[in-house]
Structure formats: structure tokens, C-alpha cells
Amino acid sequence: MALSCKTLVASLTLLTMTGCTIIPGSHFEGIESGEQTKNLEQDLEKVNIQIIDSSLIYQQKQSRKKTKPPSSLDGLNVNNYEYILGVGDVLTIGVWDHPELTIPAAVQRTAEFDGFRVQADGTITYAYAPNIQAAGKTVQQVHNELVKRLSRVIEDPQVDIKVVGFRSQKAYVTGEVTKPGVYPVTEIPLTLIDALNQAGGLTENADWRTVTFTRGDKTEVIKLDDFYAHGDISQNRLLQHGDIVHVNRNDLQRVFVLGDVKKAGSVDVNRYGLNLAEALSNSGGLNENTADANGVFVLRKRNLETDGVIADVYQLHAKNVAALVLAEQFELQPHDIVYVTSAPLARWNRVISLLLPSISTVDAVNDVANTN
């Protein structure tokens, strides 16, 4: 009867500890063997072990199941959004049926060039309406004040105000995007997702799973992958003046493949994900003569304080033909460790190979002694 998954993990760990006593100088000083065994048993009780089967794959797919494609404005309170004017913004102002109060359009001059700029003291000055406070006000509030002032000299003035230069407020997109830079906050709501799109999207080296969002002295991690892959609209943000969106590099997005494979090492997780079959393939596959096909494990770290377990351990019975399909569907996460154990006979042969040099040396000494 095959060993259970937990028994196999325990056996492998105990074998490793036994190997430490065989190899000179590799034991842990100050820790007795019995104490190591006791600690091992306690740790195993905090490991969540599961077999990679069809039910687990189904659960994994359900957790990743997409909802409707999210809009960049979903979940944000944009219905009542109004742009707040600031120093440097430029307005155009026109009064119907009073062309003398409207600056005529000129060839080779822009509306922004001819417009009314909010001055350093936060005011604008218009005919018959000097020093109107604009900074900190909405366009509608400035409009109402201007109508009130002009009503003193014009009967029922029809005033049109537009912002033609958004100069006072900006957000910053930095890091691994195609066009990092400064992006204006305008009368059209600018969300974090919009800003990333305006910046040309993420580069190949970008960490597409998370970005950092800084407002004032507070920085939070936005789970970008949850927004795109799972429709989690709570990850989006409506940007304000001074906000910083930073996209980190993808250096830490990798999986480690260890044990009895042809090429142990790390495998990068790209934005399309990485499954177990791909990770094993990129590592050259299992060593056919020595690897235990039933000993393919995926170790995933957990938070002991919050989750009550040290790690999740998933085992794949790769001797089963169906396991190849399961491996192709089992999605890995960054920092996962894929470990392939050796077959019991191969492990024993390796222990013997460690002992043989010592045995040969002893035999040689005995031969010399017998000769003398």
C-alpha cells in the first residue's frame, strides 16, 4: 500500500535528518536528535496537505472565475465628481450677445493662450468682475459668482465657462510602464486603471500582480491581478492631485523547482501564469532513472499567525497518465517551491555512495596494516 502524503513528507524529512548524521559536520549543534524529531512532528501538524486531483483543480478554477469585465469606473463614486479649480488652470469665458466681453479667436493662438489663468492668489479677473475666487471652487461655483457680478451691468447675462488648460493638478505614474510620466487630473475622472492605460500599459518586466499607490504619507498595495482576472473593482482608485502609482519590476515573480529534476533552479512566472507542467518542463523534467513520479510536491507558504498553518503542500501522483492533464491545469503562484523526491532505491544508493569513500579508505588502511 502506498504511503499517505503526510507519511511520505515525514519520511522524507526524517531521512534528511538522518542524512545529516551520516555526513560529518552537517548536524545542527545544540539540538539533540530527539528534539529535532519532536519539532518536526509539531511542524507537520501545521501543514495543510492535499492531493492534486480533479476536485482541487475545480476549486482552483472557481476561485479564479471571472465576473463581467470590469469598467475602470466601476465601484467608484464618479457620478458626483466635479473638477476643483486650482492655481495655473486656464478658463475661457464668453457672454452671449456681448462680443465685446469675449476675446476674439486669433489665428495661430490657442484658447489656452488667450484664456484666463487662475493667478497665484487663486483669483481670476474678468470685465466688471475683478478678483473672483476660483482656486478651490468648481466651474459651476465660479459661473454663479460671475453671473452675479455681471448682473449689475448686464440684464440676465448668459455666461459660458470652460476649462481649456488643466495645469493645477497631476498624478504620477512611475516604474515599469511604457510611458512613465506626469498625467493631468481633469474634469474627466482619472482612475488608477485609466492612468496605467494612458501610460501605455505595463512593460514585459513589470509586476502585473500588484502596484503601489501612494497618497500623501500613506502607501498601499493594489492587487492589479485581482482587478483584471477576477473583476475585483475594489482595487481601483479615483486619482487626486499628487497621487503616485508605481509599478515594480517582476524580479520576484518566480517559482523554484528543486529535487530530482534535470535542471534545478528558478522559473519565471509571466503575466499569463505558470502551471506545474510548464515548471517541470522548463526544468528539464524528472530524472527518469532516479525520480519518484509519485513524489512531486508543491509547497506554498502560509501565514501561521493568521491562517494557523505554516504551508500548503500539494502532491501530484505523476505515475498516473491523468496526472499530466492535472499538472497542466494546476496553476502555480510566485514563490511556490516545486520539489521532486527521489525513488527510495535511489535515495538508498546515494546514502551508500556517501559511505563508500570512507569504507574504501578503511579497507586501504587495513590492507597496509596486514602487509606489514
| Contact call for residues 89 and 165 (beta carbons, < 8 A) | yes
Q: Which domains does the chain have, with CATH numbers?
A: 90-165 (3.30.1950.10), 170-247 (3.10.560.10), 252-352 (3.10.560.10)
Q: Which three cell numbers stand for residue 271?
A: 503575466
Closest C-alpha among 339, 354, 233, 353 to residue 12? 339
| Contact call for residues 297 and 339 (beta carbons, < 8 A) | yes
Cβ neighbors of 262 (< 8 A, separation 6 or more) are 283, 284, 285, 286, 287
pLDDT of residue 253: 84
| Contact call for residues 357 and 23 (beta carbons, < 8 A) | no
Mean pLDDT by 10 residues, the chain (372 residues): 47 41 39 54 72 88 64 69 94 86 58 82 92 95 95 91 94 96 95 95 87 94 85 88 94 89 90 89 91 90 84 86 87 92 72 59 51 56
Tell me how many degrees the CA angle 309-314-315 measures, rounded to the nearest 5.
140
Closest C-alpha among 290, 285, 288 to residue 267? 285
Amino acid, single-letter form, for residue 293 = A
Distance CA 334, CA 62 (A): 19
Distance CA 172, CA 159 (A): 34
0.75 cut: is pTM over it? no
pLDDT of residue 14: 43
pLDDT of residue 20: 38
pLDDT of residue 221: 93
pLDDT of residue 352: 64
Closest C-alpha among 350, 343, 298, 370 to residue 23? 350
pLDDT of residue 144: 96
Partnered with residue 316 across adjacent β-strands are: 296
Distances (CA, A) of 314 to 6, 7, 37, 91, 240: 10, 14, 23, 63, 44
Q: According to the 3-state scheme, what is the secondary structure of 197-249?
A: HHCCCECCCECCCEEEEEECCEEEEEEHHHHHHHCCHHHCCECCCCCEEEECE
